[in-house]
Amino acid sequence: MERRLGGLTVHYEESGSGQLVVLLHGWGANLTLFRPLAELIARRYHVVGLDFPGCGGTSEPPTPWGMDEYTAFTAEFIADYGVDDVIVLGHSHGGRVAIRLATETGLGFAVRQMILVDSAGRVPQRDWRYKLRLRTYKAGKAILGSAPARAVAPNGLGRLQKAMGSTDYAAASPVMRASLVKVVNTDLMDLLGQITAETLLIWGENDTATPPDDGRAMERAIPGAGLVILPGAGHYSFLDQPYAFGKVIESFLKIG
């Protein structure tokens, strides 16, 4: 299904009936990853999954977005359902947006329960290898971005970005690359103490993108939060351990 929102064409899917549950995917992904999970939750709830701007079937934003824009967009999408409260599940970048929604005021609805899955929101702890790689990249960018270098090797800077950037960064358009830089450097840890929604955190023990220590730090910071770490799962814990993940969701959301 599609609807127009803020000048963008938004692709989304919904199923079931009852309390509204909104599923927010990670960076560079799309709602299709959540289909088995949506089918499970729709046994009791009205489930809606949407593609963030620039992902899946939703059009790209006209300019680079940061967390303010992603939060406002998602809040407007939810508000169109006319509900007083909502349950939000966010994976990775979707977790960032969920955290912001749960701590914003004046939205017209409240986040009643929140499930953070391998969530982003804590700025990564960088070791010396990362810092060396970053210095190397900046030096290469300065050289390859100069006029003489562009004349000799016009594609040199692009090749450097693809070689040294993350997979998400390399695959993105210029607008989405700039958006990624904005959101990935946003630390939301100071907001966690303001969360009043009943919160469950689910993490893969082998997650290297948002390590389990991030989940433990969030559990300590969010009042009353609980953390489940799934053995053998990585950053996409809901795909790596679907049965165990489903059982946790069934328990938390009381799906019979």
pLDDT at 85 (0 to 100): 98
Residue ranges and CATH numbers for the domains of the chain are: 2-123+186-253 (3.40.50.1820), 128-174 (no CATH)
pLDDT at 152 (0 to 100): 63
Q: Which of these, 95, 101, 74, lies nearest to 183 by C-alpha position?
A: 95
pLDDT at 161 (0 to 100): 54
What are the angstrom distances between the C-alpha of 222 and each of 45, 94, 217? 25, 17, 9
pLDDT at 148 (0 to 100): 73
pLDDT at 150 (0 to 100): 67
Q: What is the pTM of this model?
A: 0.84
Q: What is the pLDDT of residues 85-119, one digit of tens each?
A: 999 999 999 999 999 999 999 999 999 999 999 99
Q: Which residues of the chain have pLDDT under 70?
A: 124-142, 144-145, 149-171
Which alpha helices (DSSP H) does 145-236 contain, by range? 147-152, 156-164, 167-171, 174-184, 212-221
